Each structure stands twice: as C-alpha cells, then as structure tokens.
Amino acid sequence: MRAHDDASAAGAHIPTQKDVARLAGVSAVTVSRTLAGGKNVRPDLQQRVIDAVRQLDYLPNENARNLRPGQQSGLIGVSITNLSNPFYGTFALGVEEVVNERGRYMLLGSTAESASRETDLIGNFMSRRVEGLIVIPAGEPAPRRWVHRLGSVPIVVAARRLADAEVDTVLMDDAETGRRVAADLVREGHRRIAFLGNIVTVSAHRDRYEAALAVLQAAGLDFDQRLVRGVTNDVPDAAAHTRAFLDLAHPPTAIIGANNRITVGILSEYSARLAAGAAVEDLPVVAAFDQLELSELLRVPVRVYASDPRGLGRTAARMLFERLDGEVTGAPRAAVLPPPPVE
C-alpha cells in the first residue's frame, strides 16, 4: 500500500471505504466486494479499487462488524523479517510467552525484508482489529507511512530502529557487541579483518560495524573497504562474498558475520573449501553475531557473540502491554538489552 508521506500521527485523516470508492470512481459496494475477494466484480474495477487502496494507505476494518461496541479482538500483530531464521522464531516465542500470560493471541507474519510487504502485512493486521503491534522493520529502505495510519493502536519496534517514527523501541546493545568482537580480534593480532553485513539500511548491522571500526581506529587500524561488503540475510550472497575474500592475493585473517544467516553463508563457502582440500588453519577466523546452532560441532573455530532474542521478544511485549493497560503514557521510550557473555 502506498500513501501520503506528509501525514502526521496527530491530525492525519484516516481514509475510509467511502474515500476509496470516491477515488476509484466506483460504489462502496464494489469496494467491499473487492476487499472480500472480488466475487462478481470485473477485473478492471478490482484493479481500480486496489490502486485506490494503495494510494490512500487504506487499512480495511472488516473484522469490526464481528465485534460488539467496546469489545476487543484479543489479537496482537507481530511482524518479523525472516521465518527461516531461528533468531526471529525465538523472538516470537518470547513475545508469545507474554501475550499468553495476558490472555491474548498472537498473529505472526514475515516481510522477507520487503518494505512493501511490511505495509501490506500491517494493513492485514489492522483489518483484523489487532490491539497492538510489534514490528521488526524490514531492511529495505522506504518511508513507513503506515505508522501514521495506526490511530490509537500502540506499536513497539524491536531489534532495529525505525527512522522518523516516534514509537517505543527495544534494541540489543549492538554497539557493545561490535566493540567486543573487534577488541578480541585486535588482541589476538588480527590486522586484516573483513565485515559482511547490511550496514546501509539495517541499524543493528550498522551499529555493530561502526563500533568495531572505532575500536580498530583506536588501535591504529582500519577496515580495508574492499573487505567490507553489504549483504542481505541471504546465505548464497554471503557465500559469494566470502569466496571473493578468500580469492584475494591478501585475504583477511578474520571475517565478521553481522548476523547468523550471514555466518551460515560464510561457513558454507568454508565447507566447500575444506571439501576441496583446504586446511582449516588456512581459513580466516570467523566471529559470528547472534546464535549459531551446533557451532561447537563445526570443524572451523567460530566465536559466537550471542544475543537474547527471547528476552528481546518478552521485553517488546511487556512494553506494548504497558501502553495497552495505561501503565505508561506520554513520550516514546527506548530500551537497550545488554549482550550475553561470549560463547
């Protein structure tokens, strides 16, 4: 869904079904039928309705007719970025623990790091009358206009900052973890260190990189920019960058993976090298952020700088319910969780 980017949380007009009908040049009945699946509506009219919905950032409220006045849905919407990543599954478990304690139910969806899918998912949650939202923002850069279409529905942003959105936020102390990683590598004598992470649009990766860079510079070192690659959470992408590092005339002696999926990509390339006859001691040391399952069973030594996604999820949910229950009002809050000990 697309919309006005100058809307403010305070006075923005929240679009209605009548607004959609007016913009699309169709009746309200046609809008209703289109949003219910399009039965008995011509394809061209459906497309006009869909275009109007996106232009207005209209969030349908189809579940409202199933609720009595004043009745709550009992639903909390949770948006994560990657269902295949154990980090986010563990985060969702933490949220669910608190949601269950409060007698509510959780709706979970994944955006696959797409800002447009995030907008559609939030719209779907709103159509189901969720009482609150917990969102790990997608890494794709885009204005988050849906933030200004939530009305009184509270939101907590987790794991990553959401630029230009004044909302409750809970983060991990990514800067402290970045400092730990770099300090350990420098102490061990590493001078040529590579970094794989999306430092442009993912705030957690950027915080880790900038903190590590500060430690290196304080030691009279720097990242060789040929060894800093921006990647998504895509395993093959990380493996390809690792391959390029290893093929350099002067490869790095250590590689930092900005999250667990990137580290899996690094290790998949290592596995291919070992199968081709490379010696373990000839491969760069791997420093991995976030949990990495079965890391102790790997042939390649991997230092894991873990996070606490379950605690992050619980904290996000508690912050949300503090808003829902009126325990907290006023300005947005920011919480930062300390990193666990190095594994």
Concatenated DSSP letters of 245-256: HHTSSS--SEEE
Range of the domain at 281: 174-305
Within a domain: residue 292? yes
Within a domain: residue 326? no
Encoding tokens for residue 58? 């209209």
Within a domain: residue 228? yes
Within a domain: residue 163? no
Tally of domains in the chain = 1
Model pLDDT for residues 144-163, shown as the tens digit of each residue: 989 988 888 999 999 999 98
Do residues 258 and 203 touch, judged by C-beta distance below 8 A?
A: no
Provide φ and ψ at 284, rounded to 5°: -60, 150
What integer pLDDT is reported at residue 109 of this predicted model? 97
- Report the distance separating Cα 49 and Cα 191, nearest Å: 58
Q: How confident is the model at residue 102 (pLDDT cuts 50, 70, 90)?
A: very high
Mean pLDDT across the stretch 185-190? 97
Within a domain: residue 339? no
Within a domain: residue 26? no
The answer to pTM > 0.95 is: no
Within a domain: residue 247? yes
Within a domain: residue 181? yes
- Report the distance separating Cα 35 and Cα 14, nearest Å: 18
Mean pLDDT across the stretch 163-168? 90
Q: How confident is the model at residue 293 (pLDDT cuts 50, 70, 90)?
A: confident
Looking up residue 280, the CATH number of its domain turns out to be 3.40.50.2300
Helix (H) or strand (E) holding 168: strand 168-172
